[in-house]
Amino acid sequence: EKYSSTTRAPEPQTGADWHTHRLTPTTLGVARPMVRLRLHPSFGVCLRDQEQRWVSLEQALAAKAAALSAAEEEIKTSAGSVVALLACSPAVLEAATELAAAASASCVVESGFVLPFQPRSFRDAGSYVQHMSQAVRGFVAVAGKEGHLLQMALSQIGKSLRLPFGVNPAARPGYYHGNPCTFIADGDEAPWPSTCGWLDYELEVAVLITRPVSREATAAEVAAALGGFVLINDFSARDVQADELVSVGFGFVKCKAAATAMGLDVVSSDELWAPGDRGSLFEGRGLRVEVKVNGEAWRGAGGEQSSTGMARACSLEALVRYMALDEGLQPGELIGMGTVPNCCGLEIGRWLQPGDEVALSAEGLGTLTNTVGHPPATAQNFKEVDCGGGAPPGRLRTALRCALLAVALPPLTFALMVGGALSALLWRGPAGVLRSPAPTVPAIRRAADKRR
């Protein structure tokens, strides 16, 4: 499978009941139970039973008069961790389901749930094609008002004309490494970043890794490692992001580091997904999602409700395999699959304000509500942050630079385009008109030994 291929599941046979489609062990051809979990600070992992009760597994085990079975003993060792429980065998998860169903009312927990797990690491991708294209257009307004429009336009030209693109598309799933230490739970206040003027929300579905993934993972290995899905809100400082993209050069640094919110419910992967991107998460229109700010639904220009089944740059399996390449993945790592189209302010031209209540909802994954905090007293513009690098160039110096570029760029651009045309024809890469085999690692080592 090519990473650059766009994947979208076929439309359902009937349009009226797409949102009610749900995977079952029969449709998946597996016997692993489907569970929905939450975490309580005092009662450990709670499992929702068929009566919609949240049953504490620790309390249910403590209430048993008979000796514990082997599966129940394993539940006992895992009942304090959502990650550990989702990594258990199908037999253990089935025993946990039966344990919750037989539990008395004294084992039921009504409130007080907390962040279901602390991510070991957080990677967040840009999987949805429509979001990425609309986000670029949305950044025009931000970049124009923040003084980055010229730099952003030049960087986009550079990206579109890079040499591998001239010969063969070299697209890979784009993602960044976020901060796993600044996750907040449903109901928590989302802090306003001290250098932010344009604060944004992003509705995403994230997948939890519950088993190790090797550096050269197979499809079966990836499928076994996807333990569950959870709803997240990737709060983003868009003016800081625009500045970092064109000046810092290292990608996202501070623009997404202040806070990421996570829903309370972790849904086992088998309930929503199966290999081949089957299941209600991606099949047909996918899961319906909604963003409300202060009770008002914020949607795209057409006013249509968004969903998770829209076109993506690659399959979930390909995304995870690429993230594991040369690194591997470990239990507890969290992977965001990207903003669902029209589910961020950057795409629809609306921005959060201090005190706003942001409520996200996703079919099958529950809700996630947070109130936006107020800027700290020490708040300042991102450009004014002084780390000892000296004063920025003045207006006159910047104007002179732009005037010089206006004179020098036309002939320089012409020369570069001619050179690019020749390079596209003569480049000795893995694909092209006059291609030759790329050197292998052993060949490179033999050449180095000869030089020695």
DSSP class per residue in 308-342:
TTS-BSS-HHHHHHHHHTTT-B-TTEEEEEEEEEE
Would you state the structure tokens that stand for residue 231, as one six-digit string? 């709803």
| Cα Dmax for the chain | 87
Characterize the bridge pairing of strands 260-262 and 226-234.
Answer: antiparallel
DSSP 187: T
Starting at the edge strand found earlier in the chain, the sheet holding 296-297 runs 189-190, 366-372, 357-362, 289-293, 296-297
Would you state the structure tokens that stand for residue 241, as one six-digit string? 């992001």
Q: Which residue has the tokens 């079975």?
A: 69
Residues whose CB falls within 8 Å of the CB of residue 374, separated by 6 or more in sequence, listed in order: 192, 354, 355
Q: Which residues pair with 262 in a beta bridge?
A: 185, 232
Would you state the structure tokens that stand for residue 204, as one six-digit string? 């995403």
Distances (CA, A) of 320 to 44, 271, 272, 325: 29, 19, 17, 9
This prediction's pTM: 0.81
- Helices vs. strands in the chain: H and E counts, helices first: 14, 18
Tell me how far apart the alpha carbons of residues 72 and 401 are, in angstroms, rounded to a whole number. Answer: 71
Q: Which residues pair with 184 in a beta bridge?
A: 261
| Burial 49-85, CB ≥16 within 10 A → b, else e | beeebbbbbbbbbeeeeeeeeebbebbeebbebbbbb
The tens place of each residue's pLDDT in the chain, 452 residues long, gives 333 334 443 333 333 332 333 334 333 444 467 899 999 999 999 999 999 999 999 999 999 888 999 999 999 999 999 999 999 999 999 999 999 999 999 999 999 999 999 999 999 999 999 998 888 788 777 766 666 666 666 665 555 555 444 433 445 778 999 999 999 999 999 999 998 989 999 999 999 999 999 999 999 999 999 999 999 999 999 988 888 877 766 778 899 999 999 999 999 999 999 999 999 999 999 999 999 999 999 998 888 889 999 999 899 999 999 999 999 999 999 999 999 999 999 999 999 999 999 999 999 999 999 999 999 888 877 666 766 656 666 778 878 877 887 887 788 778 877 877 777 677 666 554 444 455 555 565 566 666 66
Nearest CA among 5, 107, 113 for reference residue 51: 107
pLDDT at 232: 98
pLDDT at 133: 84
pLDDT at 25: 39
The answer to whether 77 and 61 have CB atoms below 8 angstroms apart is no
Please report which helix (H) or strand (E) contains residue 443, including its range: helix 441-451
Tell me how far apart the alpha carbons of residues 96 and 57 are, in angstroms, rounded to a whole number. Answer: 7
> Could you give the 3-state DSSP secondary structure of residue 213?
strand
pLDDT at 443: 61
Q: Look at the alpha carbons of 210, 211, 217, 222 in this order and tell me if their dihedral is positive or negative.
A: negative
Residues in the chain: 452
pLDDT at 330: 97
CB-based burial label for 311 (10 Å; 0-12, 13-18, 19+): middle
What is the distance in angstroms between the CA of the first residue and the CA of the last residue of the chain?
A: 40
Tell me how far apart the alpha carbons of residues 134 and 302 are, in angstroms, rounded to a whole number. Answer: 14
Tell me how far apart the alpha carbons of residues 41 and 38 are, in angstroms, rounded to a whole number. Answer: 10
pLDDT at 412: 79
Q: Which residue has the tokens 């993506």?
A: 312
pLDDT at 447: 64
> Could you give the 3-state DSSP secondary structure of residue 230?
strand
Residues whose CB falls within 8 Å of the CB of residue 253, separated by 6 or more in sequence, listed in order: 244
The answer to whether 337 and 273 have CB atoms below 8 angstroms apart is no
pLDDT at 335: 98
Tell me how far apart the alpha carbons of residues 230 and 183 are, in angstroms, rounded to a whole number. Answer: 13
